[in-house]
Every structure is written in C-alpha cells, then in structure tokens.
Amino acid sequence: MSGPIKTGSEIVVVLLKDLNVDPSYQRGLKQHRKQIASNWNPNAAGVLKVGRRSDNTLWLIDGQQRTDAMIRSGIDRWQAEIIESSGAEYEAAIFHLINGPRGRSNLGTQDLFKSALRANDPIAICVKQAIAEAGFVIDFRRHNDTNRGLSCVGTLYRLVAAHGKDIIKRSLIVNRRAWPDNREACRDVVVCGMVYLYTQYGDKIDDERMVKTLTKLNVVTLTQEARFLLGSDKTNMGRVIAKQYNKRLSDKNKIGEDAKEEAVSDGEATER
C-alpha cells in the first residue's frame, strides 16, 4: 500500500458541499443512507474523516453515507478530522484500514477489493494481473453480459495470499482455454473450484489433459452435480472435475479423493 499512515490531524467544521468523493476507492451511496436521514441523531453521527490534498481540496475518506444523510436532513456543515493527504492512493489505504478485515469490516468483498486495489495493495494487484493475463476481466455487475467477466475477487485474494499468483493464474488459463466462450465457466463456483483444485494438486495436474477433459464437459451439468454433494459448492466443483480428469488414468497420477483413497489403500497393504 501507499507507505505508512501518517500521524497528526486536526478537528474542524467543514461545509459539506466542499467535500469531494473519489469513486476509485469509495463505494457508491447505499440505500440505508435514507434510513440514517429519517432517523437522524447528531449524537450518533461521529466525526467525518477527510483528506486535504496539496491543492487544499477536501476528500471524504470515511462518512460518505452519513454526509448524504446530513445533506438530506438540511445540515450544511459538520465536524471533520482533517488529515494531510498525498492523494487517492493514500486515502484508499486509510479507507481500507478503517473498513477492512482489521477495521469495522462493514464493506462487501467487492468494495474491499476495490479500495485495496486503489491503495496499491500488492496482493490485490497480483489478483488483477492473474485475471488479466489469463484473458479474463473483473466484472462486478450482477448480470454481466460477457463470457470473460469474473467477480470472485475475495476468494482469489485469499488464495493468492496463501499460494501465490502463478498457480492461480495457471488454473485461470486452463479454464479460459477449455471454455473460451462460455459465460457459465466464469461463475464463481466454477472458477474457484478450479483454483482450489490447482492449489491442492497443481504439481500432479497435466494442463493439456485438463483442457481436453474440460472441453468435453458441460459446465452446467458439472455445477449441478457439485451442488448435490455435501460441503462447499466450490470445493465440490473441484471434486467433480477431479473425478472426470482421473478417468482412464493410472492410480499414481490421479488427483483428488481418488488419489487419497489409493494412498490409504497402499498404506494398509504395507501394514498387512
């Protein structure tokens, strides 16, 4: 992220109309701001957090929903903690610190990723690079109309943090090669199922064999089969794919549960 957070600030009263909002890291206005306005309580409003950039413009870091609610309630000024800001990257780092997993954690996964990306978080950048280099794009629309838009950035973020960028990128490339024009293959359960499988068995998987296996399979059918199994849909998708991959494969080269069962059988045979 953008260097260490500076210490030192001042509390002043600001005109709400003078506050700017940077959409590169801020989430949009939410429906609950109307509820805040209708139940406005000045004692619960707290202090806004605002960044002052080198050109003396003021940028709202924390309190966007409250600010809108105040304006709706006819309030034109409020107390704000002013922090000297070097720009959007610095403000995004503070925003993420306040609202992220170690802060209030009241943001959705996509908003958290957006702020982390704007703050130049190295893991978020790796996720974005892996997605782009595999031929996909980040698309948060609920009903996107592209056959290469991915939205499961939260899961990919955790997996990149745990396993690195390369194995994630590799699984995404295989997905894209096998189903290049299939929107169903971009669904979270499919993408993350593939990634989970590669993080567990990547050293045993032959990518060419995996591409040939997946090309022959119907994504919708795979998804339905995964949902009938106990456990997480994403993990189950990996199990279903592994089952197809293992067909006509020697035991030593199998992945997933088949490989584990074979290892147990070998161990029992040795003991006997």
- CATH 3.90.1530.10 residue spans of the chain: 10-106
Residue 5 is predicted with a pLDDT of 47
Residue 247 is predicted with a pLDDT of 94
Cβ burial 3-31 (10 Å sphere, 16+ → b, else e): eeeeeebeeeebebeebebbeebbbeeee
- CATH code for residues 10-106: 3.90.1530.10
SS in 3 state form for the chain?
CCCCCCCCCEEEEEEHHHEECCCCCCCCCCCHHHHHHHCCCHHHHCCEEEEECCCCCEEEEECHHHHHHHHHCCCCEEEEEEEECCCHHHHHHHHHHHHCCCCCCCCCHHHHHHHHHHCCCHHHHHHHHHHHHCCCEECCCCCCCCCCEECCHHHHHHHHHHHCHHHHHHHHHHHHHHCCCCHHHHCHHHHHHHHHHHHHHCCCCCHHHHHHHHHCCCHHHHHHHHHCCCCCHHHHHHHHHHHHHCCCCCHHHCCCHHHHHHHHHHHHHHHC
Write the CA distances from 172 to 3, 128, 187, 196, integer angstroms. Answer: 31, 12, 12, 11
| Rounded distance between C-alpha atoms, residue 252 and residue 30, angstroms | 53
Tens-level pLDDT at each residue, the chain (272 residues): 444 445 557 899 999 999 999 988 887 766 555 666 667 777 777 899 999 999 999 999 988 888 888 888 889 999 999 999 999 999 988 888 887 665 555 667 787 888 888 888 899 999 999 999 999 998 877 665 677 889 889 889 989 999 999 999 999 999 999 999 898 999 889 999 999 999 999 999 999 999 999 999 999 999 999 888 877 888 899 999 999 999 999 999 999 876 655 544 444 433 33
Q: Are 234 and 225 in contact (CB under 8 A)?
A: no
